Chain A
Amino acid sequence: MMNEHVEQKTETQEQSKVMVKDKDIAVPGETLAIGMDTLPGSGTYREGEKIIANRLGLVSIDGRAIKLIPLSGRYAPKAGDTVICKVFDVTFSGWRLETNSAYAAMMSLKDATSDFIQKGANLTQYYDLGDYIVCKIINVTSQKLIDVTMKGPGLRKLKGGRIIEVDSNKVPRIIGKQGSMVSMIKETTNSNIIVGQNGIIWIDGVPESELLAIQAIRKIEKESHLSGLTEKIKEFLDKKSQLKVK
């Protein structure tokens, strides 16, 4: 029984031929693997025996599965994401928000506040045109209708500060592992920062520290592919903030 099992395993290993290494860059149409033993993950598709890249991305091999991690492209809204949006329309039943993607989000009265709102009340007293808010995506339909809510910790309207836009694919690097990168920037620049998954970032502090935080974020965006980035940014921030003290 045991022997049989072992035999089977070696046989399947021989069947699949992986053509790429982990962390390679794959371009659309590139053959990643040949054989039925390897499984196509996101960003790939199977054609007969082959697994082929369906987009430009970074190869990630996890056991038998091959997937591609996006390196570029617009933000794709996803349920559960915390995003920063701008109110661009106020309707009878709620607010319409810009999400930095191809689609607008809708926030209904029910999801906006737990206050009682009189019928026909002026909704701009809650969120006015041009306001930026931190909200959470509850649902994205197949037609890309986006529902967002304000109910949750840290979800609020943003007052003061400034907004910058970054590549949404680099947001994980800006946040860092367990938020290490962003909390470091917050501490050193002594400013308040909220990073939306959609690549919109809100920074609030004294003007000098806001500018320093922006510089640091731009640096992360530019050098996101390098390892040891956290140390580099720390060095950069320390140097800059020392200059300011002098």
Chain B
Amino acid sequence: MTYKQRIDNRGFDETRPIEAKVGVIPRADGSAYFKIGNTVAFAAVYGPRNLHPKFLQDPTKGILRCNYNMMPFSSSGERVRPGGSRRSKEISLVTVKALLPVLDLQEYPNSVVDVFIELPQTEAGSRCAGICAASMALADAGLLMKDLVAAVSVGRVDDKIVVDLDYNEESYPGVPVADIPIAMMPSSGKVTLLQMDGEVTKEMLMEALEKGKKALMDIYEVQRKALKEKYHGVDE
């Protein structure tokens, strides 16, 4: 019972403040910006475009490539060494897996859709912010997709279920902590990403997922608004 109030005075079901914008990178085919608390993600989509080397081409459908990159001085800890790491490779992979279920790439055989996710500033929940930004950028790029994808992390600190953990909660000393990033298609409620770090009971996990789903609907609203805002005033 040590965790009675959240460090930044949020409600336990409340996310950090969110900002979103679409069309931030003019030379990209689609782009978006997503900020949650102190975590900032930019996503740029290029394609469908020609894919080389040729052996990577798939004649039945286009492929999706994601690249998650934390910039060198983005985190509060030590400098992130530029170039890929084991961690960034894993997150790029789960981002692809979180986004693929909504994309219909059958229309683009032998081609590739590239997604570059850059994080100039991070404080926990960066893969979720990246997925949110990427899904908006893909929609902005005019790709065929069934739904958007919204992502947030949920978890537990001591005996409390919390939504959208920040760094202080992720590393809360002396009590059991769990961090569970989830990504979901908001319209159908299907989960496309579910990871976990820490320890939880089954009951706590189920409760956390329920709370996460509610928070995801709010995030979806922000994404939707940002997309509509870019094209606002289109009348013909």
Q: Which residues of A contact B (CB under 8 A)?
A: 23, 25, 27-31, 43, 45, 52, 54-58, 70-74, 76, 101-104, 142-144, 169, 173, 225-227
Contacts and interface: CB of A to CB of B under 8 A. Distances in A.
B235 A30 contact: no
Interface hub of B29, B143, B186, B234 (most chain A Cβ within 10 A):
B234
Contact of A54 (B104, B140, B186, B235): B104
Contacts of A76: 107
Interface in B125-162: 139-148
Nearest to A47: B188
Contacts of B110: 102-103, 143-144
A23 B234 contact: yes
A29 B50 contact: no
A58 B228 CA distance: 10
Interface residues of B, number: 39
A225 B231 contact: yes
A102 B48 contact: yes
Given A55-B145, A102-B111, A144-B109, A29 B186 contact: yes
Interface in B61-92: 62
B140 A30 contact: no
B interface: dominant SS: loop
22 contacts: A23-B236, A25-B231, A28-B102, A28-B145, A28-B146, A29-B145, A29-B148, A30-B187, A30-B224, A54-B144, A56-B139, A56-B140, A57-B142, A58-B231, A72-B30, A73-B29, A74-B142, A102-B47, A102-B108, A103-B50, A143-B59, A226-B235
Interface string B179-204: 00000011110000000000000000
Which has the most chain B C-beta neighbours within 10 Å: A43, A71, A72? A72
A102 B46 CA distance: 10
A71 B146 contact: no
B232 interface: yes
Contacts of B10: none
A29 B47 contact: no
B214 interface: no
A interface majority secondary structure: loop
B234 A58 contact: yes
Contacts of B186: 29
Contacts of A103: 50, 110-111
A73 B142 contact: yes
A54 B146 contact: yes
Nearest to B223: A27
Contacts of B188: 29
B152 to A, nearest CB: 17
A219 to B, nearest CB: 16
B47 A74 contact: yes
Contacts of A30: 187, 224
Contacts of B224: 27, 30
Contacts of A227: 235-236
Given A23-B236, A72-B30, 12 more contacts: A28-B102, A28-B147, A29-B102, A29-B145, A30-B187, A56-B139, A56-B231, A72-B29, A72-B141, A73-B142, A74-B47, A225-B233
